[in-house]
Structure 1
Amino acid sequence: MAEVSTRISLASAFDAQAGYLVLEADTERGPGWFRCYASGEVRFATSAGRVSVHGTAYQELAEEIPFPGREAQASHPVGARRFHWLGRDGGALQIAPSGALQRAVDTGPAMLRLQYLAPYRLCHVDLPYPVLIVATMGDAQASLTLTPAEEDYAADWQGDDFSDDPWDSDAAAQSLTVRLVNCYTGDDITVPDAAAATIQVGSAIARLSGGSSATLSRVPPGTLAVSVRGVPGYLDTDQDSLSNDRVVLSHGDA
């Protein structure tokens, strides 16, 4: 089994003030429909077909957001909103379209109740087969793979000798060491012993505490979705504007 390694850069809520870019499948509308949450102008590229934009829609959200210092981050871009402090008065507040939140002064830990409309572009792409969509906004990128509702891979298989089958998952599987780094400095991010981050690459999952790297076993080659959640002080990978939502592994990488 080959062993490969990769780095995943994470951003803090303060880093995210520069922009917000996330793609999400719109399961309510069905195959081919997706939402693009963005705080700027977006360009799309696809592995097949063309993205059509069907205007702007809004998702109504309500969150309770902790403020350990002056900065915090809403989970989505913020349009029309209303808010109030729970308990301690957090003072004057600035809200950026990207969802970045900043208090005028640090008055100590506080909790914000934020109700808002999150604007998103309603988009569609034809799905003759799985389609990779890449959105670009300045230096930020986000990607999403959409698959048809029903896939038919029926084939007339012939022969019975699979000893050298290149699709053999046991032969192709690899162990993957993932290292978490700060998106600006490149320094390792150490997850405290008291915390537990979840790292997922494709279907392989590992938990990390008391360190900056984890090894996932039996990871197949291909373009795989990446998810990192629960790193104290940093955004989850699906909440930032970094291009850190997928990794490409080649068969036999070393």
Structure 2
Amino acid sequence: MQGHQLILFALLVTITYATEITFFGAYETFPIIGNQSTVDADQIVLFINVTKCPTRACSCEVTSNASNNALVVNFSTTDSGRGNVKVEQLQADTIYSFELTCVGADESVKLVLKTDFGRPSAPERISCDLNANHVHLSWHRPSTPAGPIHNYRLTLNRTTITESIPGDATTYTMTNDYVLGTEYNLVLTACNTNRKNESICSDPNLGSLTFYMEATTTSTPKPSPANRLFCFITYPVILLFISLNVCL
């Protein structure tokens, strides 16, 4: 009978002092960093709250499909039950799974998060031609979009022409007439808008091209007034009508 009582007492002690994980996740708005998200394009900061740790210092670690190595949770020196861990070197707009295990906890806690949109690569195979006196551009989507591509930005000779080309567009025609003999230095960048409402665009040096079409003419230049006058004076009056026809 006494043996049964001792076993029951031991079980009660284990249940009473088991570590409890009360929170495991990231914040969409975190006051300490200006109400910004703790989920970025290349890293995620996870926060952990635990209670009833078996020792004075709680001990937890996080594993993920982003790395083969477990990350040790850093607990606060002023509040031993609050900690965090930073998971780095992640890919933008990618789903990752995380698992938190703590010493003394009966179960682990799993979490799935998606990284924020990041900087896309430059539009590819950019080309342009002249269509009804308007410069017409065409391109292919970035090979690494790092998100859905919110918009494209076009600049001409360092002046922004438009920032509202839709993200699913692959062509654009400029509205102003092209003046023959004018050099156009064009830069097309792809942009994403992240959760912090920041516009992140591709490298402008990788999306630039120069358009130039030389002014040409197919008509024969008319003679100058001096030539016409010369023809008029040289020929006799009787041949004046014929001379004018030849000169003109």
TM-score tier after normalising by the smaller chain length: under 0.3
Question: Which structure is higher in RCO with an 8 Å CA cutoff and minimum separation 6?
Answer: 1
TM-score (norm 1): 0.25
Q: Which has the higher helix share?
A: 2
TM-score (norm 2): 0.26
In our comparison, the structure showing a higher alpha carbon Rg is 2
